[in-house]
Every structure is written in C-alpha cells, then in structure tokens.
Amino acid sequence: MPTFKLNGQDIPFEPGDTIMRAAWRAGIEIPHYCWHPGLSVAANCRMCLVHITSGRQMAMPTLKWDEKKKAYVPDTKPKLTPACQQAAGEGMEVTSVGEEVENAQAHVQEFLLLNHPVDCPICDQAGECKLQDYYEEHQHTAKRKQTEPVHKPKGVTFGPTIVYDAERCIMCTRCIRVCDELVGDHVLDMRERGNKNEIVLAPGRELDHRYTLMTEHVCPVGALTSQDFRFKARVWFLKSVEGVCTGCSTGCNSHVDFDPRIGKVYRLRPRDNEDVNKFWMCDDGMMTYTEVHEGRLKTPVDGRGEGAERLLPEEAVDLVAAKLGAVDAKKLAIVLSAGMSNEDNWVLARFAEKLGAGRLYLAAREAEDVGWEGDDILRSSDPNPNRAGATLAAKSVELHDLEDLAQDVLAGEVSAVLALGHHGGEREGALDALGSLDTVVVLASNEGPLSAVASVQVPVASWAESFGSFVNGQGLFQTFTRAIPSPDGVETAWKTLVQVAAALGHDLGYVRTGEVRDELTQSATAEAAAEPTATA
Amino acid sequence: MSKKVTKLLQKEFGDKILLATDFRGDAEVTVAPKHWVEVATFLRDHEKSAMDHFTDVTAVDYPEREMEGGARFDVLLLCRSMQHNHRMRLRTELADGKKLASLTPVWSGANWAEREVYDMFGIEFEGHKDLRRILMYDEFEGWPLRKDYPIDRVQPLVEYRDVDSTLKLPPFGIEEGQPFARIDWEERLAGRDEQVSPSIGLQLGQRRALSDSKVAEDQAAELAQKKAADAAETPES
Amino acid sequence: MEAPDEIFEDEDEALEIPADPMRLNMGPSHPAMHGTIRMVLDLDGETVMNVDVQPGYLHRGFEKSCERGTWAQVFPYADRLNYVSPMLNNVGFSLAVEKLLGIEVPDRGQYYRVILGELARICDHFTSNGAGAMELGAFTPFLWLLKVRDWVWDILERETGARMTHSFGRIGGMAFPPTDGFADDVRAIIPEIHKVVGEAEGLLLKNRIFLDRMQGVGILSKERAVALGCSGPVLRSTGVAYDVRKDHPYMVYDRFDFEVPVGEDGDNWDRFMVRMEEIRQSIRIIEQALDQMPTDGPVSVTDSRIMLPEKREVYTTIEATIAHFKLVMEGLKCPKGAVYSFTEGGNGELGFYIVSDGSGTPYRVRVRPPCWYNLQAVREMLIGDMIADIIPTFGSINMIGGECDR
C-alpha cells in the first residue's frame, strides 16, 4: 500500500484517498467540521487546512505587523491545502502542526465563532460540540469583535423531529449532504451568502423522510437538535454502552446513552460499522430506545382481567413451575421470540428439550401488522431483530408461526403455552384463541399482544438491561451490553427459565451469559460446518 | 541535582534500574520489587546520595495495567538528603496480592506510611512489625483507594465492641511484661539506649516501649546480675 | 529464691514495687486530643511506658474525593487539610498542578501568594502556641494571640471573602488581584503582631510552671526526627535547619533575606520558641515582599485553558462561555505524568504527589501531610514521660486533624 508522511509518520492510503480519509483510517484526527467519512467532500469549513511541504511551494503575499516600525510590512506565507479534498500521493509530506497551520486553525475557528450566540448553557450540543472542543484545542483567545452579532432565525421547526437554529449553524452542509446522498431527498438547502446564509427547507416541504435524525447526528454543532432529546438531559451526565438496534433485522449498531444516576436511557446514536449500518440509523430505529421505559412490565401477574393478582418475583418462579409441571408436555407449546436475544431463545429451547415439549413456535412481528416498510438504505423488510437467532436456537426443529399456534389451540392439540417476548401477534384477533387456555405463561419485558392473553405474566430484563446478542438478517452475530439495571427482582429471561427449570428438577447448567453464548456459538459453528452453504 | 543520584544508581545497579525518568525535574527510578530494599538502603547509606530524610511512601492503583498483563500497583518511595539537599523518587510495580519488603528497617518513618498504604490499597509489607489499618477501622471492608472501590459504597455497621476484644487496640500483649523501673534519665540523655536495627545499620537513640518484653528482660537480667554481685561481695566484707 | 523481706529492705527500693501496667485510653474525644486522636497508653504509675497513637478519626477520604472532580475542585478540599493555614495548602496544591502543567505564575501573583501564605503561617503558629499555652493553664496569651490572629483574618477576609476556608488559590494564579488597600492593611498589622508576640513571650517565658512543663519534656533527637520523616518546626527544634523555603526555594522565596530558627534539644520548649521566632521571620518576609511586589500587572496566567475567564466576558461572548464551560464541566487538562511538589506548610513539608492521566480529573492526589510524620514521632517523644506531659507535647507538634487524617 502506498504511504505518505503526516507529521513525520507514515500513513498508508488507498489510491483515491484524501489525506483526511487516510489519516482517519489510521486513527489520526485532523480537525474538521464539514468532512464526514460517510459523505462527499464539501471542503467549506477550512478547518482541516494542512501544509504540504513536499513538492512545489505556493507562497501567498501577505502583510505582517512589524512591532518596531509600527507598520505592516510585506511578507509571504505558504498556501495551505484542505486535507479533506487533497488526494494523498505517494511520498507526499504533510504537516498538520506548526505555526502556519495552527494560525489558520485559530483564525478559522475565530471566524466561526464571530456571530455565534452565547448559547452553551441552553444548547443541547454543549459537551459534545465541536466548536467547544476546537476552541479549546486550537483557538483559546478572547473575542476581538466588539459589534453586535448578526441575528438569524432561532428555533425553526424543520419537521416532526428536528428543530433548527440558524445562529448556531456553521454552514458545513453536512445535513444537506445526508439528505441528498443517504436518502436521496433534496429537502434541505442553503440560501443567502456570507454571514447571512442559513439552511432552509425546500418550499412546501417538511423534513420528514425516514432518516431525519441523521441530520441532527451529523451536525457538528447545536444547529440541528432532535425534538425528542431536546432539553431532556445534559450529555456530560450520560454514559454510553454498545447496543444493537431492535427495530428490524438489519441490526444497526448503536450507542445507548443513559443516565447512570437514575437508570434511564435517553437516546441512541449510530455506532460506526462498515459491514452493517456504516454510520447511520433510521428514525424508527433511533426511537426504539423508548420501549425500554414505555409499556414496561415490572411485577409478575397471575390471572387475567379482574381477577389478576400481583406476585412477588420469587412466587412467580414457583407458580410458573407449578403450572408447567401440571401440563402434558406433548400439549405444551413453546413460543420462541424473534425479538429476544439469542441467549433467551437458546435457554428456552433447551428447557423445552428437557421438558420433552416438541411443539416450537416463533413469535415474530409481521411488517404489514406493525406498519413497517423496508427500503434499500438500511431498513430491512423484516421488523424483527433476531429471527435468525431464534431459528438457530431451535436447532433442527421446525418453527411454526403464531397463526399455526392459534389453529393448534382451536384444534385442541395445544393446551398450554410458554411464550417469550412481546413481539408477535399484532394482527387484530390473532391470539384470541389463547385467551381460553388456563396456562399461558409469558416472559416479556414489555406489554404486548402475548402478555395481553397471558394467564401468568413474568417480567424479564429488556435488551437495555442485559448482556446479549442478536443474529441479524445477514447472519452476523452481534452482541450488546447492559446499560441500566433491571427493576427489583427482574432477571433476564434465560435466568428466570433456569430458575423455573430448577424448581421442576431440571438442571440446565447455565450460570453466566458467557456459558450460554459459548454453547450457542459452538452449536452454530458446528451447524455451519455441517452444511457450509446455509450460513456464512 | 538528583540526576547525579540517578547516574550513581545506574552505575551501581546497572540492569536492576529498569527505568530512569526526569519528568519536570523529578528524578524517578524504577526497580523491581525484589530490589526495593536494596536500592533504598543504598540510597540511604551511600555517601554521595545519603538520603537520610524519609519523605513519603505511597501507592497508585492502575487496574487497567493489570488487565494488560502488567502489575497493578505503583509503590513509590520519596526520600531526601539532608546533607546534599537532593531528592529521589523510587518506584516499583507491584502485582496485586504480592508482598513488598518493608522499608521500616531503613527508615523508621516508613512505619505509618506503609500502614497507610496497606490500609488504603491492601498492599502488604513483609517485615513490617505492626501492619494494622491506620486510618480506617479494622472492620472496614475493602481497600478504599483502589480504583474499583466505589466512592459511595456503604460499609456494614460495626457491632458494639467489647473493650476486651477491641481490635484497634495496639498489639501490646499481656505477657509483655512488667517494667521494673522508671526512666533512667541519665542513660537516656546520654543517648545510651541506642539499639541496632536487626537488619540494617545503627539507628541512633531509638526509644522503644519500656513495656517491651526485651527491655524488661534486659533490666531483669541486669538487676539479677547486680544482686548476684552484691551477694558475692557481702560474704567478703 | 530470696525471701521477700530481703528484697525490700531498703525503703527506696520498696517504692519501686512493680505495679501492673495500666492500660489507659485517651481520646479520641478528649479535650486535649484536639483533632480527635486516640492514644492508648500503657502506664506504670504516671509514667508512659508505651503509647499507641491512633489517627483516623477525622478521615474523610480526601484523596479519594479528589479522584472524581476536576483539578480545580480540589481547592475546597485542600482548604480543609490544615484548616488553620488554608492559604498555604491552596498555594501548595496550585504549585503542584502548575509544575505538572509547566507554567509559572506572573511575579505579582507570586508575591501575593507569598504574603498571604506568610500571613497564614503566622496564624498557624499563633494558634499552635496560643492553644499550647492555654492547655497549660495560661489563658491570657491565648486570647491575646487569637485577638491579633483575628485581625490578620480580617485582612484575609477582605482579600478572599472568607476568614478560614478561602478556596482562593487557582491553578495559574489567584482568584482575584489584591484589593487596593492590601499593602497598607498588612503594613498596619505588622507592629501589632510584633507587639503581641512580645507580650505573649513576656507572660510565658519566665513562668515557672510553663518552663517546667515545656523544658526537657517530649524530647526528640535529631537523628530520629530525620529518620521518622519529621519536618517543619518539629524538625527544626531538634537542630536541623531544614526549611523548604530555604533549601528548595519555590516561588520568590530566594529573593528574601530571612533566617531559619533552630532549636537544640527538640523538646516542647524548642518547638514553642521556634514557632515564635518563625512568626518574626515571616514578618520579615512579608515586609520585603510588600516592598518588592509590583503594584500592577496580572496575578494570574491569562491562558483560557487554565484560568477561568472574567464573568463579564462569560456572559457576553461565546469564546469566554466556551472556555468557562470547558474548564467547569470537563476541567483543566493536565498533561499525562506525575510530579511531586512540596512547599513549607504550617507544620513542615506539605507535599502533593499528583498523577494525571491526561483527562480533566486527577488520577491520584497524594498529600504528604507534615502532621502525619510529626505525629508518628509523638510516640517516641512521650515514652518515659509522665502522663501529664502528653498535653504540652501533643500540643506542641500542632497536629491538625484535617491534614493528618485527610
């Protein structure tokens, strides 16, 4: 691979790479606002100016203040090049430090702050704002401008999700490029010029495509803010763990931002993954964090409707064990979930084997039932994060869908149900048949169609409250990390199942997440080795 | 100034000096734990270093270094020379659970410093005669200055302590004897109650507990001798 | 075996009947154990045969607390180390971080720090000597000394806004420049200090009771003091002329002409007298510093990455807002590394060993409290003395709980 020198360090690059991209790949940050690895080059912020010291030098005539003569005297300075636009060349020598470059950075930064409002205390970007970071790193001088700043529109509603503040905007055009290049919907553009320019909507339009939150995500400053996250939390109080989006089977990688002091998840942010989601997530995916707190099941419930009774967590395990112990395993339906982690599904399938229950079903959301539409950008047509993982857990046993379950119940072949998760059965009346059964045990983190017909509901940890993994539509195995603690007494589904099994006298032998995961990955690898074409 | 001492150490110990730094003018030398006392003693005794003034012993916890396969703790000794007015910082990397030889025979001042390091980090010092918790109470659970000790951890309530079983009492022991006399001021002011530190050197004028059994024994022996001498004299006269 | 009557035929010898050693617990809530120290004593009659000094009752987790805030948030904690002379701790900590950053405060700030610090030292010695005398029954010197200490505190209050815990130091300078009347105020207080020191000495130095209880009591030898890591007046009283200001001059101390008083015997009397003399030397330093101090110019560095910008700027310009935000929310970023910086505190060498991992939060702040090592030496001072000698001896090392236990 060819290399060039950046500050004396060899940086490899692929032909066609710019200096910026090669440095970015090598993990070196050249300060920038407008450049984004997932977008085209705009080269309008001028923050990434570097000095190319090899080759022919272009010098610009300038004036320099001479302290002795008390006058400006002619001088020259090297012409700097934007690193984001300049293609790297073999043997090129580039410096991104030194007086000239640092001067340029300081002055670009000073220009950007020229008309910036004093908004940090009320700005949601404060704490993760590039203007702040680069001020500290590259400018750190006081304001010189004495006149009133230019005022522009503030708090402009761009659509249902985004609010725009023109005064904070540095016109990097990242948001415009996201709409153009990622979505292909030219809904944003820039108008006017100089210090009057601002981002505007296309006439008669709203910012309402499926990736509007990406405009906020790429905004390096606080110009675009999300209606949802706005004024909810200050980012320096948030901590972040790695998550996987549960919106669809793409399994976009995310950062789960939560407040550790109160155990609340506030937002998701896309996590770069070249193989899955690149740098992006869709709006629906970004909002999946809400299910961590909305419609949450917190206490076990015995019975339906009026006669329902709340239980203590330890009573729930005994009750489930008693109920399952009383039914005929042949007539017990085990429902795996396409919305729960591999670990939960795996342990449930193993528990079914121990019980001798051979009827396995899969609860999954159907796209048309939940109003989901796929596209060719990120959204897959299957709105379940882990259909592949549940299928994997069932090993060779065929999984029937919930329609089959309803029919089997009506046919009298199923007299009891042990179900996992809150996905599935969204179609009107799909699960009515289950309402008549005495034993419908549902282990779920949230309310859903299954828990609505359950005779016993047992709350379990949601994805934000557990360590786990999903297998996405491509067959990629992706893990996620626990962000917040579960409510008191609530365990992950697989741990609850291990307890139930123990109460029934079966030792499933799992204690830690790692053990479950090792076993299922080994099984999956063995399977893949057996039939190499099935998964890759 | 203390670069001289760094050079002296490098000359004397060669490869045993793992690292010598001079960040912001603070001379620091890293040695392996097994050479800890050896280098410290050299620092104190060599005429060109003569670090007689004990300054501090402390530790720093680097749990991430342990994950990368390194040793978890930095233990640091700071000392200074009265004569040459220079300083040195001796550093060693100590794995969790490993013991470090105590510096108390070299400088008496290390006593409390090592007790504090033990109290705060759980690092044990071999050869320290009185390694009790010093700032915390005995029932305290955990090592507070380790990074994995959360600052808001609530400690269990301590049960009411009976005076007899008071753990924070010093290790005086019942058998530690009954002293025979009050202070002999003449002896003390003449500096004759010197004692030789068992391992290293002479520590001038160190006073020990008079209730210490050895002193009591010595005095008893002395008394017995005197009585024997008296008894021997009596028949003659 | 000889018959008992033969052993004790001499009456004097009979007085030496071995008594059971008595275990006596003193403190931590004993009025003389100021700063909540506990001493477990083994007594033979009234003689202290062994003593176990137990600190820790004022432990508040200073070093742990420092590891979770920003560098600047250490100042209020540092105030509460030696709370009798908080300005010295403030300056000591500032100097440590400045050493790590590799910056130096402008001259005017250095002189300002010196003057405020020496005033704090005077207060420290006033308190120590006044309280020490009071515990021996001499209440008047205590009141006189503290009266003048209060006047010094008036100056400190005018300068810093607080009488005791000022939190006035800043990394890179001081919170505010000196007030207009600062030099005049300080010059006005100097004769008062001289006067009260003379008066207190007049009351005490020829007092038989005071002399008996101070002279020859609580002796510490030179060699032991050095080996035990003592510093400050405790070390100097043994005859070792070690003063950080003289031996490792920091700030502008090398520009002043002052002497380091030393004692001879290392007893309570010497410690008392060394402190009295140090008050006079501090005044000499203050007088010279006032003469040399520039009348205008900044007292702090102006780099916005280190010092907070002015409030007026913060409210009106985005640059200052960002600087303020970064310094307050993320804290000042120190380069990665560790330094040990030491100054002459009220009780001796006050050291800060600070470790930075490059973030805005200290990785480790170790305070080397002079009291800690001075207190360690108390055991050797006390053994062989009478139980009543504990009070002047313990008083004379000026153990400050906040600093010792942290």
pLDDT tens digits, one per residue of B98-116: 888 888 888 888 888 999 9
CA angle A502, A504, A510 (to 5 degrees): 25
Report how far apart, in Å, the C-alpha atoms of A444 and of each of A300, A341, A353, A462 are. Answer: 10, 12, 21, 8
Residue of B nearest to C45 (CA): B182
| Residue in B89, B108, B209 nearest the CB of C228 | B108
Higher pLDDT, A451 or C6: A451
Confidence label for C307 from pLDDT (cuts 50, 70 and 90): confident
Residues 412..471 of A with a Cβ closer than 8 Å to C: which? none
Judged by CB atoms closer than 8 Å, whether chains meet at B113 and C18 is answered as: no
C21:B26 CB<8 A: no
What digits encode the pLDDT tens for the residues C164-202?
888 888 898 888 889 888 888 898 889 888 888 888 888
**Are the CB atoms for C148 and C125 separated by under 8 Å?**
no
Q: C61 to chain A, minimum CA–CA distance in Å? A: 22
- Whole-angstrom Cα Rg for chain B: 23
Of all residues in chain A, the one with the smallest CA distance to C307 is A140
CB-CB under 8 Å, C224 with B205 = yes
Interface check for A223 against chain C (CB to CB < 8 A): the answer is no
Give the residue from C227, C243, C115 showing the smallest Cα distance to C179: C115
* End-to-end CA separation in angstroms for chain B: 69
- Name beta bridge partners: A71: A66
* CB-CB neighbors (< 8 A) of C334 in chain A: none
- DSSP per position, B174-218: TTS----S---HHHHHTT---EE-SSS-EETT----TTSHHHHHH
Question: Do chains A and C touch by CB distance (3+ pairs < 8 Å)?
Answer: yes
Give residues 73 to 112 of B whose Cβ lies within 8 Å of C.
76, 78, 82, 85, 87, 89, 107-109, 111-112
Cβ-Cβ pairs closer than 8 A, B with C, add up to 162
Confidence of residue A453 (pLDDT cuts 50, 70, 90): confident
Q: In this model, does residue A176 exceed pLDDT 90?
A: yes
Between C283 and B138, the higher pLDDT residue: C283
pLDDT tens-place string over residues A426-445? 888 788 888 888 888 999 99
Interchain contact, C321 vs A118, CB within 8 Å: yes
Contacts A114 to C, Cβ<8 Å: none
Element at A404 (helix H, strand E): helix A402-410
Residue C219 · residue C266 · CB < 8 Å: yes
Residue in B135, B147, B205 closest to C59 by CB: B135
What residue type is C331 in one-letter code? G
Cα-Cα-Cα-Cα dihedral sign, residues C72, C73, C74, C78: positive
CB contact under 8 A, C44 and B179: yes
Residue B162 CA to chain centroid, in angstroms? Answer: 30
Nearest to A118 among C304, C316, C330 (CB): C316
Using pLDDT thresholds of 50, 70 and 90, give the confidence band for residue B213: low
What's the mean pLDDT in B17-42?
Answer: 86
The pair of structure tokens assigned to C253 is: 């101390």
Question: Among C373, C371, C341, C372, which residue's Cα sits nearest to residue C354?
Answer: C341
Question: Which tens digit of pLDDT belongs to each residue from B154-181?
Answer: 777 777 665 554 444 544 433 333 233 3
Residue C213's pLDDT is: 86
> Smallest Cα–Cα separation from B146: which of B119, B125, B111?
B119
Confidence of residue A460 (pLDDT cuts 50, 70, 90): very high
Percent pLDDT > 90 in chain A is 21
Answer whether B111 sits within 8 Å of C376, measured CB to CB. Answer: yes
| Paired strand residues for A60 | A77
Cβ contact C221–B179 (<8 Å): no
C323: nearest CA partner in chain A: A136
Give the pLDDT confidence score for residue C9 in this predicted structure. 53
CB-based contact C337:C359 (threshold 8 Å)? no
CA angle A513, A514, A517 (to 5 degrees): 90
Contact B55, B78 (CB under 8 A): yes
Of C304, C316, C322, the CB nearest to A120: C322
What's the pLDDT band for C16 if we cut at 50, 70, 90? low
Spatial contact of A392 and A475, defined as CB atoms under 8 Å apart: no
Buried b / exposed e over B97-134, threshold 16 CB at 10 Å, is: eeebbbbbbbbbbbbbbbbbbbbbbbbbbebbeebbbb
Chains linked to C by 3 or more Cβ pairs within 8 Å: A, B
Q: What letter represents residue B16's amino acid?
A: K
Q: Please state, in angstroms and rounded to a whole number, the distance separating the CA atoms of residues C379 and C390.
A: 10
Determine the Cα–Cα distance for residues A262 and C3; give it in Å rounded to an integer.
80
Q: What is the pLDDT of residues A375-399, one digit of tens each?
A: 888 899 889 898 888 888 888 888 8
* List of residues 6+ apart from B144 with CB closer than 8 A: B120, B136, C61, C64
Q: pLDDT tier at A255 (50, 70, 90 boundaries)?
A: very high
**Cβ contact A378:A250 at 8 Å:** yes
Strand partners, C48: C43
pTM of the predicted protein model: 0.77
By CA distance, what is A111's nearest residue in C?
Answer: C319
Mean pLDDT value of segment C357-364: 85
Antiparallel, parallel or unpaired: β B73-80 and B53-61: antiparallel
d(CA C129, CA C272): 6
Record: contact C322-A136, CB cut-off 8 A = yes
**Averaged over C328-346, what is the pLDDT?**
87
Q: What pLDDT, on a 0 to 100 scale, did the predictor assign at position C52?
A: 84
Contact A142 C316 (CB under 8 A): no
pLDDT at B215: 61
Test A135 with C329 for CB contact under 8 angstroms: no
How many C-beta atoms lie closer than 10 Å to residue A4's C-beta?
22
Residue whose C-alpha is closest to residue A222's, from A168, A171, A184: A168
Percent of chain B with pLDDT over 70: 72
Q: What is the pLDDT of residues A304-357, one digit of tens each?
A: 878 788 888 888 888 888 888 888 888 888 999 998 998 899 999 988 888 888
pLDDT tens, A270-314? 999 888 888 999 999 999 999 888 888 888 988 887 878 888 888
Nearest C-alpha of chain C: how many angstroms from B12? 24
Average pLDDT estimate for A469-494: 88
Which among C326, C327, C359 is the top mutation candidate for probing chain A, defined by the most A β-carbons within 10 Å of its own β-carbon?
A: C326
Residue A234: pLDDT above 80? yes
- A7 close contact with C: CB closer than 8 A: no
User: Using one digit for the tens of pLDDT, what is the confidence trace for B59-96?
Assistant: 998 888 877 778 888 899 998 888 888 888 889 988 88
Q: Is B207 on the interface with C (CB under 8 A)?
A: yes
| Residue range C366-375, pLDDT digits in tens | 999 998 999 8
pLDDT at B177: 31
Cβ contact, residue pair C318, A117, below 8 Å: yes
Residue in C with minimal Cα distance to A130: C322
Closest by Cβ to B168, choosing from C54, C223, C230:
C54
A touches which chains (3+ CB pairs under 8 A)? C
Q: Is A411 on the interface with C (CB under 8 A)?
A: no
State residue B234's pLDDT score: 62
Tokens encoding B93: 């990397």
Whether the Cβ atoms of residue A182 and residue A38 lie closer than 8 Å to each other? yes
Range from B139-153, B197-211, C331-345 carrying the lowest mean pLDDT: B197-211
- Residue of C67, C221, C363 with shortest CB distance to B204: C221
Cis ω before C28 (30° cut-off from 0): yes
Q: How far is B120 from chain C (nearest CA, A)?
A: 10
* Crossing angle for the helix pair B36-45 and B3-13, to the nearest 10 degrees: 120
pLDDT of residue A531: 52
Which long-range contacts link C238-242 to residues 24+ away (Cβ below 8 Å)?
C238/C262, C238/C263, C238/C265, C238/C266, C238/C270, C239/C263, C239/C264, C239/C266, C240/B82, C242/B53, C242/B82
Instruction: Give C38-54 pLDDT, tens digit per residue.
Output: 888 877 778 887 888 88
C-beta separation of A168 from A117 below 8 A: yes
Of these ranges, A238-242, A507-511, B156-160, C399-403, the one predicted with the greatest mean pLDDT is A238-242
| Residue B190 banded pLDDT, cuts 50, 70, 90 | low
pLDDT at A164 over 90: yes
How close C318 comes to chain A (CA, Å)?
A: 5
Complex ipTM, two decimals? 0.83
pLDDT of residue A536: 35
